Amino acid sequence: MSLLLHDLFPISKREHTATLSTAAKSKLFVKIAKRQNYRENK
């Protein structure tokens, strides 16, 4: 997947790593938000 993204958007490696870390952070944020929502709904 990352190879495909890299082919579509030929960006520098540093930017590519930053994009991946941002995606990881947003996934983590969603996970935390879901957990908080689950607690509130109990």
User: What pLDDT score does 39 carry?
Assistant: 81
Report whether pLDDT(6) > 60. Answer: no
Q: Quick one: which H or E segment has residue 38?
A: helix 13-41
**1-15: average pLDDT:** 62
Distances from the Cα of 34 to the Cαs of 11, 12, 23, 28, in angstroms?
32, 33, 16, 10
pTM of the model: 0.44
Termini Cα distance of the chain? 37
Q: For 10-31, what is each residue's pLDDT tens digit? A: 666 777 677 778 888 888 888 9
**22-41: average pLDDT:** 85
Q: How far apart are CA 16 and CA 35, in angstroms?
A: 29
Please state the domain extents for the chain.
2-41
